[in-house]
């Protein structure tokens, strides 16, 4: 069990002093009514809100591992920037980013107890004997499109035309790898013999440069790569998974594509922490549903810690990305049917050999079952 990813803080003497000072100031306020007579109700309310925010006690300081994928990360980024995590006594000390395959191995090795992953990861982990549980659904649509370099787009009119070409994915066992296999094998192509199927890792900058310089002809992409590559004329969509009819063709109407996971022993050690973590993310999803895309972008770009995950991207481009992906954000509940959709695809294309049932992988105590 990892003791550094989730550090629980003990209440300090500082908080006792805060409470005492609050009582003293409250008593003094009665003698100073004249000093605030000129303040508007809005001013007073704002001061009270600021005071309340300052007095939130942070009980948990955490590291959050995950791929740089706005479909996967956005609920967490909003929960952080909007203060929903802080309201639950949680702060994110560090966003640990990398490819899904690398991070899955890190969880299995005990470096992390929880994180954000594509659904393929808990399935593979459970199949391999690692006690992963899904506790929250981050996105309810598949996110990986297949894009091709613009220079050869006229020659690649269908997935079958990728025979003899070089197709990229992030890492073996990751969501990009898995959906790339779905598209290729679905078109009758064997990635081992009919083309070069190569790993580029999970760094968006490396992926973009690889497309730009022609190191790969196509890539199983997600945001931020998809929209950026298309807008800058580097690539064109071959399989545009964000389009409803395309999603229906390859996946179905809905799929539990992206989730938050935790290890069983970690959950049993501190279920209260996981309830707080899920509650903050559920509140973030509600906020996302109610907000316009530009409001979401202003929030996450306006916070120094969350803005780091958008480095090098302008606001207008990020708004377009959010417009493209926001239809996949649900309520956070775990969807049996959506999970079984993903599992059926994994088994159909022989990514896993044995079924991993929903009841084995899902812990519905925190976000509920849809």
What average pLDDT does this structure show over 12-34? 41
73-106 in b/e form (b: 16+ CB < 10 A) is: bbbbbbbbbbebbbbbbbbbeebbbbbbbbbbbb
Instruction: Please tell me the predicted confidence (pLDDT) of residue 248.
Output: 96
For residue 319, pLDDT over 70 is answered with: yes
CATH number of 60-141+255-361: 3.40.190.10
pLDDT tens, residue by residue, 187-223:
999 999 999 999 999 899 999 999 999 999 999 999 9
Same fold flag, 60-141+255-361 and 145-240: yes
CATH: 3.40.50.720, 3.40.190.10, 1.10.1760.20, 3.30.800.10. Which one for 145-240? 3.40.190.10
Query: Which range (18-27, 73-82, 92-101, 223-232) has the least confidence?
Result: 18-27
Find where tokens 């990229």 sit. 168
Is the pLDDT at 100 greater than 80? The verdict is yes
pLDDT at 5: 76
The rounded percent of the chain whose pLDDT value lies above 90 is 81
For the stretch 250-268, pLDDT in tens is 999 999 999 999 999 999 9
With contact defined as beta carbons under 8 Å apart, do 280 and 90 qualify?
yes
Each domain of the chain, given as residue ranges in start order, spans: 60-141+255-361, 145-240
**Chain segment 35-75, per-residue pLDDT in tens:** 444 455 555 445 544 544 456 799 999 999 999 999 999 99
- Average pLDDT value for the chain: 89
Q: How far apart are CA 39 and CA 127, in angstroms?
A: 63
> What is the arrangement of strands in the sheet containing 235-239, beginning at the earlier edge strand?
196-199, 166-169, 218-221, 145-149, 235-239
pLDDT digits (tens, 9 = 90+) for 278-309: 999 999 999 999 999 999 999 999 999 999 99
Q: Is 67 helix (H, G, I), strand (E, B) or coil?
A: coil
Structure tokens at 230: 């298309």
Neighbours of 32 (CB within 10 A): 10
Q: Residue 4: its pLDDT value, please?
A: 66
For the entire predicted model, the pTM comes to 0.85
């Amino acid at each position: 069990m990892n003791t550094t990813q989730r550090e629980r803080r003990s209440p300090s003497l500082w908080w006792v002093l805060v409470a005492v000072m609050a009582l003293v100031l409250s008593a003094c306020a009665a003698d100073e009514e004249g000093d605030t007579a000129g303040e508007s109700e809005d001013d007073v309310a704002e001061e009270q809100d600021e005071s309340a925010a300052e007095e939130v006690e942070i009980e948990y300081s955490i590291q959050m591992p995950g791929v740089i994928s706005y479909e996967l990360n956005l609920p967490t980024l909003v929960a952080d920037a909007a203060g929903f995590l802080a309201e639950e006594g949680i702060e994110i000390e560090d966003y640990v980013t990398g490819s899904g395959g690398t991070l899955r191995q890190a969880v299995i090795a005990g470096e992390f107890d929880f994180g954000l992953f594509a659904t393929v990861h808990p399935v593979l982990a459970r199949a391999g004997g690692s006690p992963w549980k899904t506790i929250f659904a981050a996105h309810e649509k598949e996110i990986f499109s297949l894009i091709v370099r613009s220079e050869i787009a006229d020659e690649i009119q269908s997935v079958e035309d990728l025979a003899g070409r070089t197709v990229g994915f992030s890492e073996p066992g990751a969501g990009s790898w898995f959906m790339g296999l779905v598209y290729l094998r679905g078109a009758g192509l064997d990635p081992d013999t009919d083309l070069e199927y190569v790993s580029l890792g999970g760094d968006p900058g490396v992926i973009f440069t690889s497309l730009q310089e022609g190191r790969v002809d196509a890539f199983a992409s997600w945001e931020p790569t998809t929209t950026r590559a298309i807008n800058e004329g580097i690539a064109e969509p071959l399989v545009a998974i964000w389009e409803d009819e395309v999603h229906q063709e390859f996946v179905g109407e809905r799929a539990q594509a992206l989730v938050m996971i935790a290890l069983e022993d970690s959950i049993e050690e501190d279920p209260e922490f996981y309830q707080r973590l899920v509650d903050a993310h559920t509140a973030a999803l509600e906020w996302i549903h109610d907000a316009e895309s530009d409001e979401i972008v202003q929030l996450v770009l306006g916070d120094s810690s969350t803005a780091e995950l958008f480095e090098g991207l302008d606001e207008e481009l990020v708004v377009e990305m959010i417009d493209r992906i926001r239809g996949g954000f649900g309520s956070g509940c775990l969807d049996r049917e959506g999970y079984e959709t993903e599992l059926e695809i994994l088994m159909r294309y022989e990514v896993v050999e044995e079924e991993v049932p929903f009841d084995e992988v899902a812990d519905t105590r925190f976000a509920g079952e849809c």
